[in-house]
Structure 1
Amino acid sequence: MSRNLKPKPPGQPRHRRASRRWSMLKKPIYLYLTAAILLVWSSAAVAQEAPASVFSGEAKVVADTIWVLFAASLVFFMNAGFAMLETGLCRSKNAVNLLAKNLIVFGLVSLAYWAVGFGIMFGDGNEFMGTTGFFLGGNDNSPAIGEAYDGVFSALNWAGIPLNAKFFYQLMFAGTAATIVSGAIAERARFVGFFIFSILLTSICYPMVGHWVWGGGFLQKMGFYDFAGSTVVHMVGGWAALVGAALIGPRTARYFEGKSYPIPGHNLSIATLGGLILWLGWFGFNGGSTMAADPAAISHIIVITNLAGAAGGVAGTITAWIYFGKPDLTMTINGMLIGLVSITAGCAFVTSGSAVLIGFVGGIVVVFAVDVFDNFKIDDPVGALSVHMVGGFWGTLAVGLFSVGPEKFSWYTADSGPAMGLLSGGSFSQVGIQLLGLAIVSGFTVAFSYIVWTALKYLSGIRVTLEDEKLGLDLSEHAMEAYPGFLGDEHL
C-alpha cells in the first residue's frame, strides 16, 4: 500500500470500506474489460477483408523491416528456451554439455548458413537446389536496396525488405532445426560429433529441403504448403535427431531386461522457464513469416498460434493425467510445444476453431508418441522426437485437412495459399500433395542423416565411453561443472 494512504478511522462501517476498495479497483477492472473487448473484436475482425498494409512506399519498407527484425529477435531468444528446457530435463552432471551445445550451435549455423546454406536454399538455380548467392553474394530487387534484380534471390522477391533482413530471419530458422537434434541425443553423444553434424545439416540438408518448399523448388511448384516450417524446420530436425538417437543408442541403464527405467531431469523449474520462452518466441517464429507488417495477418497468426499451444498444453495434461494417473509437468510442456509445432504449417490458413482442434490433437498424440518411442528403445531425454517430428508431420497434414481457402482471408490468394482443406469442404487433393511432400522430405532427411551419422561414427566417434557417461559429460567433455559445490550421489 502507498505510504500516502491514511489509516481508516476506527468504527468505519464495513460497507463503506468495501465501497472504497471497489472505487480503487474500478479503474483497472475497466481497463481489463476494455482490453478484453478490443481483443475479442480484433480477433473477430481478422477474417474480414482488410488492406494488405496501412503503410505505403518507403514507410512500408521501414515498417516491414522493423517487424521482421523484431520477430527474428524473438526467434533468436528461443535458443535460450531450448537451452533451459533441455538442461532442466537432463541430469545435472550433463548440464554444461547441453548448455555448450545450445550455445555453440547458433555460432556454427550462422557461419555455415551464411557461407553455403542460404545460397542453396534461396539462390537461383534449379528445382532441387540454389546454385548462386553463396557468402550472401548478390542482391535482390527490394525497394530498400535500390538496385536492379540481378537473378540471385528471385525466390524472395515477394518480400520488400533488405536482403540482410531476409537472411537474418531465415538464419533463425536454420538454427532451430539444428538445436532440435541436441536434445534427442543428450547425455551420451560426443561434442565433436554434434559439432560436425550441425554444420552439415544446416549447410546442405536443411537448405535443400527449404529450397524445395520455399525457394522455388519442385514441392512449391507442386502446391505443397508449409507456412512457417512444420516440415522444413521441425520434421527435418526431428528426423535427423531420430537417426542420431537410434545409431548412438540409449543411455546406460535406461533399458534393462526388457523394462524401461526413466531417468528424471534435475531441474523442472528451468525446464518450465524454457518452455515459456519457446512459447513467446513462437509468436515471432510464425508471425514473422509474413515478412511484412500486415496488421490483419500478424494478428490472426499470433492468436492462432497461441490457441494451438494452449490447447496442446491442456490436452497433454489431461491425457497424461488419465494415462499415467497423475498430471505430468513434462507432458504439459511437451503438449504445449507440439501444439505450437502443429500449427506452424497452417497458422495463416486456418480458423481459430481449427487451431484449437489441431493443437488439442497434438497434445493427445505427444503422450502416446513418447510411449511408442520408449517401447522401441529410442531414448529421447527431452521428447524432441515426439514434439518436432510427430508434431511436424501432423501439422503439415492438417493444412490439407483444415485450410479454409484463399477467399476467407485477405492476405493470401489462390497463388499464395493452399486449396480448401478436406474437412473444410474441399477435396482430397491438398491432403495428397501434403502427404507426398512429407514422404519426400522424410526419405531424404533420413538418408542424409544416416550417411552423415554413420560416417562420423567411424571417423570421429559419436558416443562417449561408458566411464565418461557415468562420470558425466560436463567433466569428461568440458572439465567443468554447472553446479560446483552442490554435488549429488550421481557424481560419486
Structure 2
Amino acid sequence: MEVVYLIMKPVLLMITELVSPSASLSDEALNILTVNNLWMMLCIALVFVMHLGFACLESGFTQSKNTVNILFKNTLTPAIGLVSYTIIGFNLMYPEFANGPGWFDFSGFFLKDTLGLDYNIGYTYWTDFLFQGMFAATAATIVSGAVAERIKISAYFIFTIVFVGFVYPTIGSWQWGEGALHAMGFYDFAGSTLVHSVGGWGALAGVIMLGPRLGKFINGKVVEKPGSSVPLATIGVFLLWFGWFGFNGGSVLSAEPGTTSLVLVNTSLAAAAGALGGFVMGYIVFKRLDLGMVLNGILAGLVGITAGADLMLPGSSLLIGFIAGLLVVLSAVTLDKLKLDDAVGAISVHLTCGVFGTLAVGMFGAKAGWDQLLNQIIGIGICGAAAFGGAIAIFFLLKKTIGMRVSAEHEEQGLDSHEHGIRGYTITYE
C-alpha cells in the first residue's frame, strides 16, 4: 500500500490543486482552515447521529403497533430535509440580502459551484451547507414525534418538504442570514428559537389540527398510552445528548479553543441540571420517580442552553438547565389539561424550553439586560407567528385536500400493519 501511495501521491496533489487551488492561502492560513473545517465536519457527523437519537426516542415513547411507522418517518425526514434544503432552503436562508437586512430574499435554486478554499476562514462552502442542512432536517423531526400515531404519512411528508424548504429557512435568514432580526439585535447562538421552537410551533400546529389520539382523554382524565421500549427511549436521549456537542459546538463555526470548550461545558452542565429539574418536578407532580420526565428534562436543559451557550458561565448554565427541567414537566401537564396530545413531549421540550432558553439570553450571561430581553421577546414573537402561521396554513391545506388523519380503524389496529405490512416487534408469546 505504501508503494501505491508514493506512486499516486503526485497525481493526487495535482488533482487537489486543480479542484481546490490553495495558492492564495499562506501555509498558516491553510492550517487554520484545515483544523477549523475538520472540527466542523466532525460536528456534522455528531448532528447526524441526533437523527438516530430522535428515531430511538420517538419509537421508544410510542406504542409498539406504530414502531415501523415512526421509524419510517424518522428515516426519510433527514433524506427529504436534505434534498429540500439543497434545492431551495440553503439559498433562501443565506441569500446575502441585496438591499440591506430584510425579511425575504432568494439567490437561486441548488448549490453554487464554489470549490475554492477562500469561502471562509473557518470552513468551506460545502461544509457550511451540510452543517446547516442537518439543522434544517432537525426542525422537521421535532414535528414527527408530536403528531405520531395518527397522522397520514403522505401528509407528514408533504408538510416536511414545504416546512423545511420554505418556512424554516425564511425564518432562519432573519437571524443567521443577517436579516432583519439580526440587525435588530436578536440573538440565538445555536437555535433555541430558530430550530427548536420553530419545530415546536410546527408540532403545536399539527397537534391542534389533528386532535388527540383515540382514547387519550376520557371523561376529563388522561389515559396513559405506554411506549414500546423504555430502554430504547433512554438510548435515544443519550444519543441526542452526545449529538448536541456537535449541535452547539459546531455553532462556534470554528475550532477556536476558548469558546468551543466553554460551549461544550455549558451544554453538558445544562443537560445534567435539566435531568435534576425533571426529576424534582416529576416527583412533586406525579409522586413517583418518573424516568420519562428525567429524560425529557435532559433534552429540556439542552434546548434551554442552546440560544446562549457561548455567553454563559457554568453557574448560569446549571440554573438555566434546572429551570428548563422544571418547565418541561409543568408544560406537559398543562398540555394534557388543554387536551393537546403530544405523543412524545416534543412541544414541551422544544417549544416551551426553546422560548425560555431564548429569553435566558437577556436574563443571564454576557448579554443580560432589559434591552436585550426586549429584543429576545420581539424575536420570539415574530418567529413564533411565522412558524405557527406557516405550519397551520400547510396543515389546513392538507386537511382540506388529501386529509391529515388516518381512519379510526387503522389507528386502533396500528399503522404498521396497514401502511407498512410489517411489525416493529415480532416476538409473540403463546
TM over 0.5: yes
Closer/same/farther in 2, CA of residues 234 and 159 from structure 1, 3 Å limit: farther
Give the alignment partner of residue 321 of structure 2, picking from 359, 382, 389: 359
Q: Measure, in 2, the Cα distance between the counterparts of 1:91 and 1:302.
A: 34
For 1:237, the aligned partner's letter is: G
For this pair of structures, how many residues does the alignment match?
Answer: 401
Residue 125, structure 1, aligned to residue 97, structure 2: yes
Q: Say whether residues 1:66 and 2:66 are aligned partners.
A: no
- For residues 3-57 of structure 1, give each alpha carbon's deviation from its aligned partner in whole angstroms, at most 9, with x where no partner exists: xxxxxxxxxxxxxxxxxxxxxxxxxxxxxxxxxxxxxxxxxxxxxxxxxxxx941
**C-alpha separation in 2, matches of 1:353 and 1:56:** 37
- Once residues 113 and 186 of structure 2 are traced to their aligned partners in structure 1, the CA distance between those partners, rounded to angstroms, is 28
Q: Say whether residues 1:439 and 2:381 are aligned partners.
A: yes
Change (3 A) 1:105 1:159: farther
Structure 1 residue 313 corresponds to structure 2 residue 266: no
Residues 200-254 of structure 1: per-residue CA shift (max 9 Å, x gap): 0111000001000100100001110000000000011000000001110100000
The answer to whether 1:236 aligns with 2:207 is no
**Runs of 5+ in structure 1 lacking a partner?**
1-54, 148-156, 405-419, 423-427
- Work out whether residues 118 and 133 of structure 1, in 8 Å CA contact, stay in contact via their aligned partners in 2: no
Once structures 1 and 2 are overlaid, which stretch shifts more, 163-172 or 475-484?
475-484
Q: How far, CA to CA, are the matches of 1:201 and 1:213 in structure 2? A: 18
Deviation by residue 1:309-342 (Cα, 9 ceiling, x = unmatched): 0000011011111221111000000000000000
Residue in structure 2 matching 1:145, options 83, 92, 116? 116
Q: Given that residues 159 and 291 in structure 1 are in contact (C-alpha distance below 8 angstroms), is that contact kept between their aligned partners in structure 2? A: no
Deviation of 1:146 after TM superposition, in Å, equals 4.4
| Partner AA of 2:112 in structure 1 | G
2:110 is aligned to 135
1:296 deviates by 1.1
Q: 2:257 aligns with which of 277, 284, 295?
A: 295
1:374 aligns with 2:316: no
Q: Is the 8 A contact 2:47 2:247 kept in 1?
A: yes
Distance 1:352 1:133 in 2: 42
Alpha-carbon distance between aligned partners in 2 of 1:108 and 1:487, rounded to the nearest angstrom = 38
Q: In structure 2, how many angstroms separate the alpha carbons of the residues matched to 1:133 and 1:279?
A: 36
| 1-structure distance, mates of 2:67, 2:47 | 23
One of 125, 129, 133 as aligned partner of 1:167:
129
- 2:396 aligned residue: 454
Alignment-mate amino acid for residue 129 of structure 1: F
- Aligned pairs (5 A) from 1:135-214: 135-139=110-114, 145-146=116-117, 160-214=122-176
* 2:422 equivalent to 1:480: yes
How many angstroms apart in 2 are the aligned matches of 1:441 and 1:61? 33
Query: Of 345, 357, 379, which aligns to 1:383?
Result: 345
Q: Which residue of 2 aligns with 1:224?
A: 186
More displaced 10-residue stretch of structure 1: 256-265 or 379-388: 256-265
Corresponding residue of 2:288: 326
Cα deviation, 1:396-425, whole Å, max 9, x if unaligned, reads 000011122xxxxxxxxxxxxxxx303xxx
5 Å matches for 1:272-291? 272-291=234-253
Q: 1:464 aligns with which of 406, 414, 423?
A: 406
Residues 33 and 121 of structure 2 are in contact (CA less than 8 Å); yes or no, is this contact kept in structure 1?
no
CA deviations on 1:420-472 (whole Å, 9 max, x unpaired) are 303xxxxx100000000000000111111111000001111110000000110
* Residues in 2 aligned to 1:332 and 1:275: alpha-carbon distance in whole angstroms: 10
TM-score by length of structure 2 reads 0.91
One-letter code of the match for 1:261?
Answer: V
Larger mean Cα displacement after TM superposition, 99-108 or 475-484: 475-484
Q: CA deviation at 1:158?
A: 5.8
In structure 1, how many angstroms separate the alpha carbons of the residues matched to 2:266 and 2:396?
A: 40
- What TM-score comes out, normalization by structure 1 length? 0.80
Corresponding position of 1:400: 362
Shift of 1:133: 4.5
Higher mean C-alpha displacement, 341-350 vs 472-481: 472-481
Matched to 1:122, the amino acid is Y
**Partner residue, 1:253:** 215
Letter in 2 for 1:421: A
Aligned AA (1:109): G
Compute the displacement of 1:480 (Å): 1.2
Q: Which runs of 5+ in 2 are unaligned?
A: 1-26
1:121–1:129 contact (8 Å) kept in structure 2: no
**4+ residue segments displaced more than 3 Å:** 157-160
CA contact (8 A) 1:74 1:281 kept: yes
State the 1:381 CA deviation: 1.1
Counterpart secondary structure, 1:323: helix
Instruction: Give the partner amino acid of 1:132.
Output: S
Distance change (3 Å), C-alpha of 1:233 and 1:366: same
3-state SS, counterpart of residue 293 of structure 2: helix
Amino acid at match of 1:136: L
| Superposed CA offset, 1:340-395 (max 9, x none) | 00000000011110000000000011111000000110001110000000010000
Q: Which residue of 2 aligns with 1:417?
A: none
